[in-house]
Amino acid sequence: MPDHVFGRSTGTVLPRAVRGDGCYIIDEAGRRYLDGSGGAAVSCLGHSDAEVRAALHEQLDALAFAHTGFFTTAAAEALADLLIDHAPPGLERVYLVSGGSEAVEAALKLARQYFLETGAPQRHRVIARRQSYHGNTLGALAAGGNAWRRQQFAPLLAETSHISPCYAYRDSAEGESPEEYGLRVANELEAEILRLGPETVMAFIAEPVVGATLGAVPAVPGYFRRIREICDHYGVLLILDEVMCGMGRTGHLFACAEDGIEPDMITIAKGLGAGYQPIGALLASGRIYDAIAAGSGFFQHGHTYMGHAMAAAGAHAVLSAILGRGLLPRVVTQGQRLDAALRSAFDTHPHIGDIRGRGLFLGLELVADKATKAPFEPERKLHARIKAAAFEAGLICYPMGGTIDGRRGDHVLLAPPFIISDDQIDELVDKLSRAVAVALAT
């Protein structure tokens, strides 16, 4: 990498990616990398989709950008319509931004403004969960419960309360049923609302299936229904962050469909643009929108590139492909196939403690001792070793670990394109098995 272009690791030389071919990225030396994680759960259609490319060319020939202060565009309208047609009931409005963190920022500010305009200005507090990630901008970072990411920037972050995540593999008690466990951890929300004073609490934010910080961990059945009840009881808005798990990744367009609840807001990004365009969106209930429309009539927020015509046209083509090509049922069948292949490779592996997830959003958790679930020492950086060994073998996967919010552990997140074939699933699992073996041997 030339030294005037830098990523998070300065001084690191990365291969130069030059071309995409379905589920593969090809570098300038001609090496092919199977994209087993869509980058970070982004590339749901693979890297060379002809229809998305055609839609982008068409939009570019017509109009690349028109500022939302002056215009709407057919591309933005069509995208919003399509999202709303398939959104959980009650979500009636769409706010288009450029990524996941922007969507979360918008959600937090919309929540605040909703309470200001409905006569509850004392409501400003946000409750989230430990070991969570909602983005890297300051508002989203403040909401997240990843101590490592927050640490350096703590003086800049708004105060947020964090309750336990719903992480049955690690936290359910001996003899406790999944339902009992879910109820117990959901009830932490009620306790926290009461501790803070219900009249001060604005919103609770959580991922239906936790991606980066836990490695594809869905909540147990009933957890989110109890969360919804508690939010309703205390007048707290429920924001679901589906930036990673949304847009079909779990087999439903919106992951929360499986939990049977209707949130007040949903944030999406990643799979929405599938990497073809940077785009995110906030979906909000008609109730929230109407309160502001009847009040100030103005959401006091905005970004230059919101509602960008190219981004909207790309996302519309992506969403049309997901819905029109039968990709949601395909996520379910290929997800089952990947899950089965992972189980046959790793079920008896002494250091794979858990295989979990939904659809094509699966995670493996590594443990030093399977019986006690003891994690590896963070200094060993097992997740980083797996990432490096997999990349060396031509596989892109998304391992995370070390110490997250005071808890140790290593996991590997898998989120391949929805178009992944049976042979490519076998290739993925084969390369991952070899990478895990190499990482454990070093």
Nearest Cα residue to 279 out of 143, 101, 134, 155: 101
Size of the site for ligand PLP (CB under 6 A): 15
Q: Which two tokens stand for residue 301?
A: 């927020």
Quote the least distance from Cβ 49 to ligand PLP, whole Å.
20
Q: Give the range of 49-57, 216-224, 237-245, 433-441 binding ligand PLP by CB under 6 A.
A: 237-245
Rule CB under 6 A: say whether 269 interacts with ligand PLP: yes
Q: How many whole angstroms separate alpha carbon 414 and alpha carbon 37? A: 5
The alpha carbon torsion through 330, 335, 338, 340 (nearest 10 deg) reads -120
Which of 212, 281, 360, 429 contacts ligand PLP by CB under 6 A? 212
Rule CB under 6 A: say whether 262 interacts with ligand PLP: no
Quote the least distance from Cβ 278 to ligand PLP, whole Å.
8
Which of 36, 38, 99, 273 contacts ligand PLP by CB under 6 A? 99
In which region does residue 6 sit, left (phi positive, over 0), alpha (psi from -120 to 50) or beta (all else)?
Answer: beta
> Would you say 231 and 224 are in contact if contact means Cβ atoms under 8 Å apart?
no
Q: What distance lies between CA 341 and its chain's CA centroid? A: 24
Which CB atom, from 75 or from 107, has the smaller least distance to ligand PLP? 107
Rule CB under 6 A: say whether 311 interacts with ligand PLP: no
Rule CB under 6 A: say whether 190 interacts with ligand PLP: no
> Would you say 36 and 396 are in contact if contact means Cβ atoms under 8 Å apart?
yes
Three-state secondary structure call for residue 201: strand
Rule CB under 6 A: say whether 46 interacts with ligand PLP: no
Nearest Cα residue to 133 out of 18, 72, 215, 235: 215
Taking residues 52 to 91 in sequence order and writing x for each that binds ligand PLP by CB under 6 A, - otherwise, the string is ----------------------------------------
Which CB atom, from 40 or from 63, has the smaller least distance to ligand PLP? 40
Q: What is the CA radius of gyration of the chain?
A: 21
Which of 100, 222, 314, 409 contacts ligand PLP by CB under 6 A? 100
Q: Give the range of 11-19, 88-96, 97-105, 344-352 binding ligand PLP by CB under 6 A.
A: 97-105
Q: How many whole angstroms separate alpha carbon 109 and alpha carbon 139? A: 9
Identify the residue whose tokens are 């899950």. Answer: 339
Q: How many whole angstroms separate alpha carbon 334 and alpha carbon 69? A: 43
Task: State the DSSP code for 127.
Answer: E
Which CB atom, from 318 or from 345, has the smaller least distance to ligand PLP? 318
Q: Give the range of 58-66, 100-108, 318-326, 419-427 binding ligand PLP by CB under 6 A.
A: 100-108
Residue at 303: amino acid letter:
H
Q: What distance lies between CA 285 and its chain's CA centroid? A: 20
Rule CB under 6 A: say whether 241 interacts with ligand PLP: yes
* 63 Cβ contact partners less than 8 Å away, ≥ 6 residues apart: 73, 309
Which CB atom, from 49 or from 241, has the smaller least distance to ligand PLP? 241
Taking residues 132 to 161 in sequence order and writing x for each that binds ligand PLP by CB under 6 A, - otherwise, the string is -xxx--------------------------
Which of 243, 341, 364, 390 contacts ligand PLP by CB under 6 A? 243
Quote the least distance from Cβ 205 to ligand PLP, whole Å.
9
The alpha carbon torsion through 69, 141, 383, 48 (nearest 10 deg) reads -10
Quote the least distance from Cβ 140 to ligand PLP, whole Å.
6
Give the binding site for ligand PLP (CB under 6 A): 40, 99-101, 104, 133-135, 207, 211-212, 241, 243-244, 269
